[in-house]
A and B are shown apart, each in its own frame.
Chain A
Amino acid sequence: MLKALGTEMKSVIGEEKIIERKVEEQPHPLGNGGKITVLPSTEEEIAAVVKYANENGMTITVTGTGTKRGFGGTIEDADILLSLENYHGIVEHTVGDMTITVKSGTKFEELQRYLQKHKQKIPLDPAWPENATIGGVIAVNDSGPKRFRNGSARDVVIGLRTVYPNGSVIRSGGKVVKNVAGYDMNKLFIGSMGTLGVLTEITMKLRPLPEYESLLLLSFPKGGMEEIRSFAVRLLDTMLEPVTLELINPVLAEKLTGQSTYTLAIGFEDVESSVHYQEEYVKKIHPEAQLTILQEDDSREFWQQFYQIGPKGTDSPSKLVTEASMKIGVKNMAIPEVIKESVHLQDMYNLEVFAHGGLGHGLCQVHLKGAAQDIKSALTHLRNLVKDLGGNSVIKYLPLTLRKEMDVWGEKPSYFFLLEGIKKKIDPKKTLNNQRFVGGI
């Protein structure tokens, strides 16, 4: 079987771009692999592979470097693992227009480092920026604490080139920052988990690098959620313009700051005078606060560490301990409740739980470590809490065996038939990332 696949692939793409798995090699414990790996380096090659697979009834898993390998999906191996790792680079950067077009396999941090030279940035802050590819970040709609001020992938992406399952290249959006010609098809692909097409080129709008940044770490040793909540409400009702307002649970705070208390990470980015002015203002709102202020490099270093706290799909999961991550969306002011519950989970299920959530954007990330059975119970517990709060929850990381036991996407929405209808129109043969998304799409 493998041999035949290899031979077939060689008719589509150069031999040097195919990696056949050795017989003794085991499938990856996170699943979402392929019996054979192809590494195209051009859009034509990507289209050729996809078209061939689609016409010949083969399935494809799309991947970048694999940081999101544990996210969604119930299949160990598709026929082909289409890796975009060798498809990278900047296609066009128009400095004056503040837009950039890049190939999807380009690593996020590489882009930011390049843009830094032009005092610009992509206004996103995803996890594992050193490893994550921009294609992966867009395909899963990853965002971080700075989403509060900067928005998410849907606010940043202005154009895409996407290889459809039939091999045709479909452009959506364009290269300008404002565009309402036709449907906003970009939105369909952002967060679609690669189930509709293979993103090849991504055009984004950029923002200037802030002249100055600082980070206020505000401790709440008493741990009263009402105190945190009312402080946040007061802060949000001022004219201040924080970039982040992220609540961190004590265990995670200890790892990041050495202090085991509920901590609010309030970031400011602006000209220096304005940043300091806002620091002083925060002190006025909460004079008795225990406050640490990290300036410039210290602030950047904090965030760098922060983006590496969750499990990473490129690592092989430990055999001794199970890891999981859940992304939770609730109303902004329900965030403290979720973060507090994460602390209960530690004791209830004997887990290590890192949790943080944004009081300005309503999303929490909860990372759990412990025994498989306890992880499952804790995830169910959290999911029920979120349901009671009227929110949504998605398990972002879980080993394949457990993903087969619990639906990482939760209940289907009432309008599921629309989602399914879109998938059927674009990928009727389920060639791309089959079963990776909501309701087994």
Chain B
Amino acid sequence: MAMKGLKIKDKHIRSLANLLSGPKPILYHKEDLLAYDCDGFTIERHLPKAVVFPKNTEEVAAIVKYCHENMLPFLARGAGTGLSGGAIPLNNEVVISLTRMKKLLSVDLENRIAVVEPGFVNLKLTNSIADKGYYYAPDPSSQYACTIGGNVAENAGGAHCLKYGVTTNHILGLELVLPNGEIIEIGKDGIPDSPGYDLLGLLTGSEGTLGIVTKITVRVLKNPEDKQTVLAYFDRVEDGSQAVSDIISTGIVPAALEMMDKTAIEAVEAAAFPVGHPRDIAAVLLIEVDGISSGIEEQISKILKVCKSRNVREVKVAESERERARWWANRKTGFGAMGAISPNYLVQDGVIPRSRLPEVLKKINEISEESGLRIANIFHAGDGNLHPLVLFDARVPGETERAIEAGSACLKVCADVGGTITGEHGVGIEKREEMRFVFTDEEIVAQTDVREVFNPDNLLNAGKLFPTPGRCAEVKKELKASTS
């Protein structure tokens, strides 16, 4: 309504504007659209047709219905922190930004649930209930900015999902707008086991290709009585990764078990949150255990013993909450820290069986040597989720392509040892072709068959997640070269 009186030439934009309320509910000038041509995956960029900012479910449904009736491609976007290109408008989509639907709708601590709108920022939820001693467990590194709607789309993980699980383990209910504009509700009031196929589970991690989530019921948890954090420095990567395996096999389930290698340490120490890691060590482990106090002391002493038996150079327990927070800030800003030592970087997200860690790191090292590009490793060692960060300089001709190839080669290594190509960042645009490392054509069709049930016209976020049928590797390379 607010757009009335303006001269908008495009009739669709005019119609969409009329479906919306609130100030500036639509962007359609090229200069305004530029900010929406990519997300956290910056290698590929495409302009949307328009960006709309609905305020509520009904407005989302009205836009979707309009797009559906007029065969306009569309997609949903949260904070745009996704790392695999899931919110990039490949087909000149109408981008439905959910950032104005950012309310915390209700908190029911007795039943341990909270209901949020999709644009509500992850960390805000924990901040809103922290005074009562509760928190929301999934904690992706971007949690200060990323939205819970985006977390649902990507099935986001985080450092603490080793013990508490990823987003899907904490989603109890969803309201969503289907690609034809119909509104449905699954898992009302967070009540478990709605009869029928587990659509909640299917939708979580479907990367915005099956529907647009407009309301989310999540589980919240009570803070543990106590937590302790350990930092351990190793001169050999093998010792560090062996310590990881040993810790797990003693029967401890740490809340987090993170690892960084030498190059990663160089970066985090050069960036905004240095903590004074020695520069000459091969690996640092950040280990956190939480639970009942009396149990924790026992676990910590076991962990210290394991580290010592694996030739740790130095190991220390955080002495204060401040120290602990510093260690975590250093780790959680690790990706961005690469900017301090390299003009560009590309982050990958493979997962491997924990026991194959030393062998995989060796192979990643070989890839680095072959490509002539440095690769830093930051990873959730406890659950085998690696984040190789390929460092490159986009100004050097050919280096971007080499970085993409090196990233893909890292994923191939992960797949070959029985792992997978993404643990928490999603497939998006980036890893479409790499899906073939883990799935047969038939298995991919089994998945697109499911998409057809929800999204038969493929107007919603088309071109994501799945490889182009029949397209061979050569064509893929050409395509990447021409778009970058």
Q: List residues of chain A with CB under 8 Å of any chain B CB.
A: 94-99, 119, 141, 151-152, 154-155, 164, 168, 170-172, 174-188, 190-192, 196, 207-209, 211, 233, 236-241, 270-271, 273-274, 277-278, 327, 329-333, 361-363, 390-392, 394, 409-410, 413-416, 418-419, 421-422, 425-426, 437-438
Contacts and interface: CB of A to CB of B under 8 A. Distances in A.
B286 to A, nearest CB: 17
B72 interface: no
A168 B385 contact: no
Contacts of B380: 178
B355 A97 contact: yes
B244 to A, nearest CB: 10
Contact of B423 (A176, A237, A273, A422): A176
A329 B191 contact: yes
Interface in B161-215: 161, 165-166, 168-169, 184-186, 188-202, 204-206
The 9 closest A-B pairs by CB, nearest first: A187-B201, A274-B295, A239-B225, A208-B251, A421-B453, A178-B423, A274-B292, A96-B355, A187-B198
B166 to A, nearest CB: 7
A278 B253 CA distance: 19
Contacts of B154: 180
Contact of A176 (B190, B223, B418, B449): B418
A208 B252 contact: yes
A332 B112 contact: yes
A161 to B, nearest CB: 10
A419 B197 contact: yes
B446 A94 contact: no
Given A170-B442, A273-B298, A391-B191, A425 B423 contact: no
A413 B198 contact: no
19 contacts: A151-B169, A170-B442, A171-B443, A172-B443, A176-B351, A176-B384, A177-B351, A182-B427, A183-B447, A188-B201, A236-B222, A239-B224, A273-B298, A327-B193, A392-B194, A421-B453, A426-B446, A438-B195, A438-B196
Given A96-B249, A211-B251, A180 B423 contact: yes
B169 A94 contact: no
Contacts of B426: 180
A361 B191 CA distance: 9
Contacts of A152: 192-193
B438 interface: yes
A314 B163 CA distance: 37
B439 A190 contact: no
B155 A181 contact: no
B248 A188 contact: no
B202 A178 contact: no
Given A237-B133, A239-B223, A362-B191, A180 B446 contact: no
B383 interface: yes
Given A180-B424, A418-B454, A155 B439 contact: no
- Interface hub of B192, B225, B298, B442 (most chain A Cβ within 10 A): B192
A233 to B, nearest CB: 5
Contacts of A94: 353, 355
B249 A362 contact: no
Nearest to B385: A178
Contacts of B282: none
A333 B111 contact: yes
A155 B166 CA distance: 10
A190 B431 CA distance: 27
Interface in B98-121: 109-112
Given A164-B446, A329-B192, A425-B449, A184 B294 contact: no
Contacts of B421: 181
A121 B473 CA distance: 43
B291 A241 contact: yes
A414 B184 contact: yes
Contacts of B294: 271, 273-274, 277
Contacts of B189: 331, 390
A138 to B, nearest CB: 12
Given A176-B384, A191-B193, A413-B194, A181 B439 contact: yes
Contacts of B317: none
A331 B212 CA distance: 26
Contacts of B205: 180, 183-184
Contacts of B452: 425
B195 A182 contact: no
Contacts of A409: 195
B334 to A, nearest CB: 18
B110 A413 contact: no
Contacts of B253: 207-208
B453 A236 contact: no
Contact of A410 (B195, B293, B435, B438): B195
Contacts of B419: 174-176
Contacts of B332: none
Contacts of B438: 174, 181-182
B306 interface: no
Contacts of B166: 178
A178 B298 contact: no
Contacts of B186: 413, 415
A188 B202 contact: yes
A191 B198 contact: yes
Most A CB atoms within 10 A — which of B111, B293, B355, B451? B111
B192 to A, nearest CB: 5
Nearest to A268: B292
B112 to A, nearest CB: 7
